[in-house]
Copies of this chain bind each other. A is one copy, B any other.
Amino acid sequence: MFSERVDRLTSSLIRELLALTQKPDIISFAGGLPAREAMPPLDLSDPPPDLSQYGTTDGEPELRAAIAGQLADLGLRCRPEQILITTGSQQGIDLVSKLYIDPGTSVAVEAPSYLAALQSFRLFGARFEELALTASGIDPEQLRQAIQRQRPAFVYLIPTFQNPAGVCYDEATRAAVAAVLRETGTPLLEDEPYRELVYEPVDRGPLCARLDEGNTWMYMGTFSKTGIPGLRVGYLAASVDVHPYLVRLKQSTDLHTNRIGQWWCARFLNSRDYPAHLERLRTFYRERRDAMQTALTRHLGDLAEWTTPNGGLFFWVRLKAGGDTRALLVRALERKVAFMPGEAFFTSPSAAHGAFMRLNFSHATPEQLERGLAVLAEVIREQRGMTKTEATAGVVEI
């Protein structure tokens, strides 16, 4: 009696784990929760009384203007009228799914990719074309072939500090990917939640800024990583050919985004302290990243491999000897440690994907991080049928 799409409704392992990670005695590397102590203060006193009334679907003019100004600084020229304020950037994914996806519609995605985006595309019936990620991004030639073969309705990319893989596309890859999109006229959905969480200088000019006038582009951002996630404010900037449809789809989805959150975000973006807040945030997370790098090397150095991310919130770790990180999670949870098994981030999981796990470094304190990774190393050794002593003994024998 339900719709067909309900058969495609998969539950989010992330959300189910969130319930567990909220228990105070769990050390969680699972979610993507920003650190509470790094968030800006939430001053909501004396909101303008007009904000109590219903608002417009597009969003508050002051916030849209501030965002357009930021995007212009990144080289993405668009008018405030092209910006739709969304109820978190997750809503942007829902709206784009509604705009493009019928059962069987092809969508090209990175492998691995953001779990909740894959779930939304799948809910609407998408057929996936996977684009393998390397340390420098996707392969432009593979993208071209995928487009020629499958004619995807759009390509979904997270080029900057990708979730889950942490990859930041390099300049040559950005240029080549944009060239393929221009030449084939393929719509792009670029998702950039982590843009401002940068710890070393890297190439990160938006792909959307490199497209032509006639290209269809959609660019998503959020205030949940730099500001206050509980306010649920994000945005979806888009080329003029699709923006009006997205507005009408949002209208039928929730009329408009809460105005108090929009008011707070506009003041936040326009505040004199905003650049300094970003710097403090980067310093804070850089230290956490470095702490995880150190602890990973100490505890998992002989068990796993990874690349240190230059931004974002995650390490993407592969067990050298392979294995099944889903089964590992069950054991780790018994020991009060949580992480995300990698398999969930692939649209067509294979045995090889079972060796990956995503470790968040923003939420746990350095002490929890040290302790949690020590436990994780023990559990990995146990799964491999070795105790730590045996492993160490092995090393001594050489």
Contacts and interface: CB of A to CB of B under 8 A. Distances in A.
Given A90-B254, A91-B254, A253-B90, A102 B5 contact: yes
A52 B51 CA distance: 20
Interface stretch (A8-16, A364-372, A381-389): A8-16
A233 B257 CA distance: 10
A193 to B, nearest CB: 12
A12 B251 contact: yes
A3 interface: yes
B245 A9 contact: yes
Q: How many copies does the complex hold?
A: 2
Interface stretch (A64-72, A222-230, A332-340): A222-230
A366 B6 CA distance: 49
A53 B230 contact: yes
Interface string A93-129: 1100011111001000000000010011001100000
A232 interface: yes
B45 A51 contact: no
A256 B18 CA distance: 13
A36 B9 contact: no
A171 B233 CA distance: 43
A241 to B, nearest CB: 10
A165 interface: no
Interface string A27-47: 000010110100100101101
Contacts of A98: 3, 5-6, 123
A254 B87 contact: yes
A3 B105 contact: yes
A357 interface: no
Given A245-B2, A245-B9, A258-B231, A116 B252 contact: yes
A19 interface: yes
Contact of A33 (B53, B87, B253): B53
Interface in A239-263: 245, 248-249, 251-261
Contact of A36 (B2, B52, B88): B52
Interface of A: 1-6, 9, 11-12, 15, 18-19, 31, 33-34, 36, 39, 42, 44-45, 47, 49-57, 86-88, 90-91, 93-94, 98-102, 105, 116, 119-120, 123-124, 153, 187, 224, 228-233, 245, 248-249, 251-261
30 contacts: A2-B100, A3-B102, A3-B153, A4-B102, A6-B99, A11-B251, A18-B56, A31-B54, A34-B53, A36-B52, A36-B53, A42-B47, A42-B49, A44-B260, A45-B45, A52-B229, A54-B224, A87-B254, A87-B257, A93-B252, A98-B123, A120-B252, A123-B249, A123-B252, A230-B260, A231-B259, A232-B257, A233-B258, A253-B253, A254-B254
